[in-house]
Amino acid sequence: MQNTQLRDILRDAKAQLDKAESRVETDEVRVRFLGKKGRLTEILRSMGSLGAEERKRLGKLANDARIEIEGMLARKFEAVKAAEHALRFQAEAVDVTEPGTEFCIGAKHPITITIEEISRIFLHMGFSVTEGPEVETVFNNFDALNAAPNHPSRERTDTFYITDDTLLRTQTSPVQVRTLLAQAPPIKVISPGRCFRVDTADATHSPMFHQVEGLLVDEDVTMADLKGTLDVFAKRMFGAEVRTRFRPHFFPFTEPSAEMDMSCFKCGGEGCRVCKGGGWIEILGCGMVHPNVLRVGKIDTERYTGFAFGMGVERIAMLRRGIEDIRLFYENDMRFIEQFG
Residue numbers at the binding site for Zn ion (CB under 5 A): 264, 266-267, 272, 274-275
Closest CB 320 distance from Zn ion, rounded Å: 13
> Cβ closer to Zn ion: 252 or 268?
268
How far apart CA 242 and CA 240 sit, in angstroms, is 6
Closest CB 247 distance from Zn ion, rounded Å: 18
Strands 304-312 and 135-137, by their bridges, are: unpaired
> Cβ closer to Zn ion: 14 or 243?
243
Amino acid, res. 127: F
Closest CB 267 distance from Zn ion, rounded Å: 3
Question: By the 8 A CB rule, do 23 and 81 touch?
Answer: yes
Q: What is the 3-state secondary structure (H, E, C) of 181-223?
A: HHCCCCEEEEEEEEEECCCCCCCCCCCEEEEEEEEEEEECCCH
> Cβ closer to Zn ion: 79 or 274?
274
Q: 269-300 burial string, b = 16+ CB within 10 Å, else e?
A: beeeeebeeeebbebbbbbbbbeebbebbebe
Question: By the 8 A CB rule, do 34 and 70 touch?
Answer: yes
> Cβ closer to Zn ion: 236 or 266?
266
> Cβ closer to Zn ion: 275 or 284?
275
Closest CB 262 distance from Zn ion, rounded Å: 11
Closest CB 273 distance from Zn ion, rounded Å: 7
> Cβ closer to Zn ion: 187 or 283?
283
> Cβ closer to Zn ion: 44 or 267?
267
The sign one gets for the Cα dihedral 253, 254, 258, 264 is negative
Q: Provide the CA 334 distance to its chain's centre, in angstroms.
A: 14
How far apart CA 289 and CA 256 sit, in angstroms, is 8
Closest CB 318 distance from Zn ion, rounded Å: 14
Closest CB 242 distance from Zn ion, rounded Å: 11
The crossing angle, in degrees rounded to 10, of helices 39-46 and 52-91 is 170
Closest CB 280 distance from Zn ion, rounded Å: 8
Count other Cβ atoms within 10 Å, centred on residue 42: 13
> Cβ closer to Zn ion: 47 or 274?
274
- Three-state secondary structure call for residue 282: strand
Element (H, E) at 246: strand 244-251
Closest CB 321 distance from Zn ion, rounded Å: 15
How far apart CA 150 and CA 170 sit, in angstroms, is 16
Residue nearest to Zn ion according to CB distances in the complex: 264
Cα R_g (the chain), whole angstroms: 44
> Cβ closer to Zn ion: 122 or 265?
265
